[in-house]
A and B are shown apart, each in its own frame.
Chain A
Amino acid sequence: MHAILEMTGITKSFPGVKALDRVNFKVYEKEIVGLVGENGAGKSTLMKVLIGLYKHDDGEVVLRGKTARITDPKTAAQKGVGMVFQEGCLLPNLSVAENLFLCQEGHFKHRGLISMREMVEEARSQLARVQVDVNPKTNVRDLSQACRQMVEIVRLLWLSNVAGVENPILILDEPTTVLIAEEIERLFTILMSLKKEASIVFISHRLEEVLELSDRIVILKDGRNMAELKGKDAKIREVQRLMVGHELAEEYYKESQQNEPGEKEIIRVQGLEKRGFFKPASFWVRKGEIVSIVGVLGSGKEELCRSICGVTKTDAGKIFINGKEIKIDSPKDAIRAGIGYIPSDRRDEGLALQLDVMSNITLIVLKEMINTGIINLKREKKEATYWIEQCRIKTPSLKTLCNNLSGGNQQKIVLAKWLAAKVKVLILDHPTRGIDVGAKEEIYRRIRMIASGGIAILLMSDTLEEDIGLCNRMLIMKDGEITGEVECPPQVKGETTVLMR
């Protein structure tokens, strides 16, 4: 076997986090490589480096025996490397044929004018190669996700064909998340038949799929190479163990500080439903309890949490806070009911970056500090100072703009804002996303502290291991449904981790 792609020592840092650390990755002729790892392990980053969307800090990419400098997806395609993204990169308002040959119209030009007839004919014969029988004049917006993927695959194959490249490399990033079972079946048949002329890199969190399809499995962990297995011999259990990597460090998640939750239910959700996203869901969180919702992307957990805090509207269901039913139609209702939400993207959603520290902390409670229409500045200052001390926010002054603070301190300000508002329920949306290992520990400590204060916490986290480590109880969501519930008392966490996998 002959390697057509060799990436060696690839390193890539983003501000505050090392996404890839000396990663090696090879692709051989006519094979399917499964690339797996937990969220944030660096799979997508590695592939984006390969197709030129990210520029790597260090390392070498050798393509077909030659050092390759790939600066953008277009050059990548000319060198026979293409990626099908989760969100797709076809233009919805153009037809299939126009999308297939976008920027390659020159092949169909006669005396400067495009022959649409030729373009449609070529599209038809290219689509036939993957047995997709769709009218090339159809607008892409009218196609199913499955079919869009096929069109993208055909586009990549055609591009490398035109560039005269043998054995192109196709990268599929989580292609199955948007598909239903039959479509997945069909995709796999097509991928197997494409193996005769191309190499495929297959990224998925559904390990059964990866094992079924791949000749070879490469496992990344925290931006490093973890292991490489032969597809035939690999067992799911083994791959999972390698993905998680090390045995859990003692006290990493501050397990001993885990509370025994109070008896009182703070929030109870009954039959909450949003059609097309999640089925009727019922659960409760008690005083001081941490409940995490686990599930892959598209399981509906994000939508569920977002509807509890009023960002998305629901079709049916009730929410009770302290036994009293409340109606939540907007974030404002949720805040009034005492539900706080800390988004994963704090730069965009959590903070007003152009405002100063004090204004951000007192944003929600400001109403209480108004005397006959005028803000009592003294009280506002006192309140802000109190929370800055409580949350150990490092800021030069109350008037410093949040823009000028570090990510960790911004995170703390978001938290202070909600604590000042005396929330009863706090929803944490991936609180450790994009944060380095050391900083994570600090956040875990803080989450424990909040729970001890009696606040009910609903958590969505990046890794299963983090979920288990932090929570009292875990709800498992699959395809929009809560399918299971697991207790996670401190002493059995290690076992639970193994059990879950």
Chain B
Amino acid sequence: MKRTSVDNDFCFSDKIGRGFRFIISHNVLGPLTALVLVSLVFIIGTKGFFLSLKNIQNILSLSSLLTMIVFGSSLVILMGAIDLSPEGVIALTAVIGGLIMRNERTAVDMGFWAIPVIMGVGAFSGFINGIVNTKLKIPSLITTLGMWFATLGIAVIFSGGSTNPILDTRFQTLASGHFFGIPYITIVAAGVFVILLIIEKRTSIGKYIFAIGGNEVLARQAGINVEKVKIIVFSIAGSLYGMAGFFLVSRLLSANPTISRGLLFPAITATVVGGTALSGGIGGVVNAFIGALTVTVLRSGMVLMNISPYVQGAVNGVVLIIAVTITMDRQKISIIK
């Protein structure tokens, strides 16, 4: 990068100093520092037990599941929209998954073919989110809130309100097994991470997601088919929730509609803690990953330190608000509703 001092003056607004610019343009740095600090606190607080292989495996496995959800919801948030439907969609995919793996209730046994079907169900839910949001022009907040309860309701109906045990134990191996100490689920999450990173950095749709989040009107003027991008992104998010649903069912070897309860809050917290702005346009897959890891570390660290669950809840809430305060571009929003 060669620039003369004159050009420097010409091209950079003097409002932002150099150091600050560095942090903004590398907006991974802040969240990463937060993650390291939180980890340090727990390493000291647990006198090193936090670093034990078993605990690290546990964190990897827990955060991998969260990561899948966060990858989905953060893609939506990057466009300046929001997705509240993961809990419902995961419940639905889990229950349907239970019915098509070898189980006690139905005679169906699709074996590993169940995986694409489950992800397809998730993708379809996301597709409907996208259609309702863009074609009926209903804010994503309401659309996905509706989808949350609609899918949850359908899940309850399909499950009959009770737990359906799964008999195919291969799935449990897949969900809980290790490969040289690394959980399979972590390997899968890493694969998803790489694919999404390529989409983000090297494809048009990746660029468009950020453009829409930056300013939807200008993005449309530039010629981006905003509706199409939104529908695709909601669908991708849905398929990722489906993947999470599959791993949840497989780990427990039983399916019921309450399986996903309480997953939305950590997903949203992780998204913003990772540095993705709720106002859209800033963040990305790397941020989502760091966020999921931070939230998991926070949770398991507090459990290890025997902190009361009530305090834990409060801590999570405060962390969410602080993270939003730091990341959100409030210049863009004139009225806070």
Contact pattern, A 93-116, Cβ under 8 Å of B = 1, otherwise 0: 110001000110110000011101
Q: Do most interface residues of chain B lie in helix, strand or loop, or is the interface mixed?
A: helix
CB-defined contacts of A186 to chain B, threshold 8 Å: 10
The complex places the Cα of A140 from the Cα of B204 at a distance, in Å, of 19
User: Are B3 and A93 within 8 A (Cβ)?
Assistant: no
How many pairs, one residue from A and one from B, have CB atoms within 8 Å of each other in the complex? 100
The complex places the Cα of A74 from the Cα of B10 at a distance, in Å, of 29
Partner of A98, one of B3, B21, B207, B282: B207
Q: How many residues of B contact A (CB 8 A)?
A: 33
Interface residues on A, range: 20 to 34
User: Are B7 and A139 within 8 A (Cβ)?
Assistant: no
Q: If the complex has contacts A114-B203, A133-B2, are A91 and B10 also in contact, measured as CB distance less than 8 A?
A: no
User: Are B210 and A135 within 8 A (Cβ)?
Assistant: no
* Chain B residues numbered 128-148 whose CB sits less than 8 Å from any CB in chain A: none
Partner of B214, one of A74, A91, A133, A135: A91
Q: Does any Cβ of B come within 8 Å of A323's Cβ? A: no
User: Are A93 and B7 within 8 A (Cβ)?
Assistant: no
Contact pattern, B 268-293, Cβ under 8 Å of A = 1, otherwise 0: 00000000000001100000000000
Contact pattern, A 413-449, Cβ under 8 Å of B = 1, otherwise 0: 0000000000000000000000000000000000000
Q: Does any Cβ of A come within 8 Å of B13's Cβ? A: yes
Q: Does any Cβ of B come within 8 Å of A142's Cβ? A: yes
The complex places the Cα of A260 from the Cα of B10 at a distance, in Å, of 51
A92 to chain B, nearest CB (A): 6
Segment among A61-69, A144-152, A281-289, A468-476 that sits at the interface with chain B: A144-152
Q: Does any Cβ of B come within 8 Å of A73's Cβ? A: yes
User: Are B12 and A143 within 8 A (Cβ)?
Assistant: yes
B148 to chain A, nearest CB (A): 29
Q: Does any Cβ of A come within 8 Å of B19's Cβ? A: no
Q: Does any Cβ of A come within 8 Å of B24's Cβ? A: yes
The complex places the Cα of A105 from the Cα of B210 at a distance, in Å, of 14
B75 to chain A, nearest CB (A): 15
Partner of A93, one of B198, B204, B213: B213
CB-defined contacts of B2 to chain A, threshold 8 Å: 133
The complex places the Cα of A72 from the Cα of B13 at a distance, in Å, of 31
Q: Does any Cβ of B come within 8 Å of A132's Cβ? A: yes
User: Are B221 and A94 within 8 A (Cβ)?
Assistant: no
CB-defined contacts of B7 to chain A, threshold 8 Å: 132-134
Q: Does any Cβ of B come within 8 Å of A316's Cβ? A: no
Q: Does any Cβ of A come within 8 Å of B330's Cβ? A: no
CB-defined contacts of A73 to chain B, threshold 8 Å: 221-223
The complex places the Cα of A112 from the Cα of B204 at a distance, in Å, of 9
The complex places the Cα of A183 from the Cα of B11 at a distance, in Å, of 10
User: Are A94 and B12 within 8 A (Cβ)?
Assistant: no
A493 to chain B, nearest CB (A): 39
Q: Does any Cβ of B come within 8 Å of A355's Cβ? A: no
Contact pattern, B 192-233, Cβ under 8 Å of A = 1, otherwise 0: 000000100111100100110111001101111000000000
User: Are A144 and B13 within 8 A (Cβ)?
Assistant: yes
CB-defined contacts of A132 to chain B, threshold 8 Å: 7, 10-11
CB-defined contacts of A492 to chain B, threshold 8 Å: none
Q: If the complex has contacts A114-B203, A186-B10, are A91 and B219 also in contact, measured as CB distance less than 8 A?
A: yes
CB-defined contacts of A92 to chain B, threshold 8 Å: 214-215, 281
B268 to chain A, nearest CB (A): 20
User: Are A183 and B10 within 8 A (Cβ)?
Assistant: yes
User: Are B223 and A91 within 8 A (Cβ)?
Assistant: no
The complex places the Cα of A144 from the Cα of B15 at a distance, in Å, of 9
| B217 and chain A: residue at smallest CB distance | A89
CB-defined contacts of B306 to chain A, threshold 8 Å: none
User: Are A144 and B10 within 8 A (Cβ)?
Assistant: yes
User: Are A72 and B3 within 8 A (Cβ)?
Assistant: no
The complex places the Cα of A102 from the Cα of B220 at a distance, in Å, of 11
Partner of A116, one of B202, B213, B214, B221: B202
A142 to chain B, nearest CB (A): 5
The complex places the Cα of A186 from the Cα of B6 at a distance, in Å, of 12
| B211 and chain A: residue at smallest CB distance | A91
The complex places the Cα of A132 from the Cα of B7 at a distance, in Å, of 7
CB-defined contacts of A113 to chain B, threshold 8 Å: 198, 202-203
The complex places the Cα of A186 from the Cα of B25 at a distance, in Å, of 28
Partner of A91, one of B1, B4, B12, B215: B215
* Chain A residues numbered 111-143 whose CB sits less than 8 Å from any CB in chain B: 112-114, 116, 132-135, 138-139, 141-143
Partner of B16, one of A103, A116, A142, A147: A142
CB-defined contacts of A112 to chain B, threshold 8 Å: 203
Q: If the complex has contacts A146-B10, A186-B10, are A133 and B221 also in contact, measured as CB distance less than 8 A?
A: no
CB-defined contacts of A102 to chain B, threshold 8 Å: 207, 211, 219, 222-224
- Residues of chain A touching chain B, judged by Cβ–Cβ distance below 8 Å, are 72-74, 89-94, 98, 102-103, 105-106, 112-114, 116, 132-135, 138-139, 141-147, 183, 186
Q: What are 23 A-B pairs at a CB distance below 8 A?
A: A73-B221, A74-B221, A89-B222, A90-B218, A91-B222, A93-B281, A93-B282, A94-B207, A94-B211, A103-B223, A106-B204, A114-B201, A114-B204, A114-B207, A132-B7, A134-B7, A139-B24, A139-B25, A141-B24, A142-B12, A142-B13, A142-B21, A144-B10
Q: Which 3 residue pairs spanning A and B have beta carbons closest together?
A: A74-B223, A91-B214, A93-B281
Given A94-B210, A133-B4, 18 additional A-B pairs, CB 8 A: A73-B221, A89-B218, A89-B221, A91-B211, A91-B219, A93-B213, A93-B282, A94-B211, A98-B207, A113-B203, A114-B201, A114-B203, A114-B204, A114-B207, A132-B7, A133-B2, A144-B13, A146-B11
